[in-house]
Amino acid sequence: MRYSFRVKGNRRLFVAYGLILLLLFLTAAPLVILPGIAGMFIAVLFGYFAFQMIRMLLNHIKSFIMTHDDGITLRFPTSSLERLEWDQITHAGIIRTPEDKLVRFIYAEGKDRLATIPEEYNRLEDLDEELKAKTAWYELSQEKGKSIQETIRPVTKHADGDDESEDSDEKDKEISD
């Protein structure tokens, strides 16, 4: 099933649209107010910012999550396409932030890959059900001042530095054999 970025009714997009319009206005205004090189320089600068903002917005709109029988494919704005097999995903769940927002996460411990999914995607309840059926599901609360990574860490093998002691125990066993 495909879960796409929600465009309709998304307040964050309205802010982005407003900012783009403001930047486009600020691109044209200096040409009228400041003739010459100074006006052209300011117009080019604001035009560049508008271009970057439009590019970022389009990357957000094109992002998606797709589940398959054998895994999940993720395309987020800041990364290329990533595919994870179901057996690679070790943790999935919901984190309630201090601002009382829900953030979904998918973590592949072997690859040390963390994907966070904001509420701007369609049909997230269906995604939750698919993840619950295929992976270990967690419901966590984020403490104020802690990152999402710090919130997830206690349920992973990295909790309390256990991963270092396990690695050293394994090395000790190999050396003694």
Query: Quick check: 86 and 135 in contact, CB under 8 A?
Result: yes
Q: What is the pLDDT of residue 20?
A: 93
Render pLDDT for 127-148 as a digit per residue (tens, 0 to 9): 999 999 998 898 888 889 888 8
For the chain, what percent of residues have pLDDT higher than 90?
27
User: How does the average pLDDT of the chain come out, rounded?
Assistant: 83
Q: Which distant-in-sequence residues (6+ apart) come within 8 Å of 134 by Cβ? A: 86, 89
Q: What are 53's two structure tokens?
A: 């903002």
Burial code (b: 16+ CB inside 10 Å, e: under 16) for 108-128 equals beeeeeebebeebbeebeebb
pLDDT at 149: 85
Q: Residue 170 has what pLDDT?
A: 41
- Give the tens place of pLDDT for each residue, 10-41: 777 888 899 999 999 999 998 888 888 988 99
pLDDT of 24 reads: 92
Judge whether residue 172 has pLDDT over 80.
Answer: no
Q: Using the predicted structure, report yes or no on whether residue 79 has a pLDDT greater than 70.
A: no
Report how far residue 36's alpha carbon sits from residue 32's, in angstroms, rounded to the nearest whole number.
Answer: 10
Is residue 45 over pLDDT 90?
yes
Model confidence, pTM: 0.70
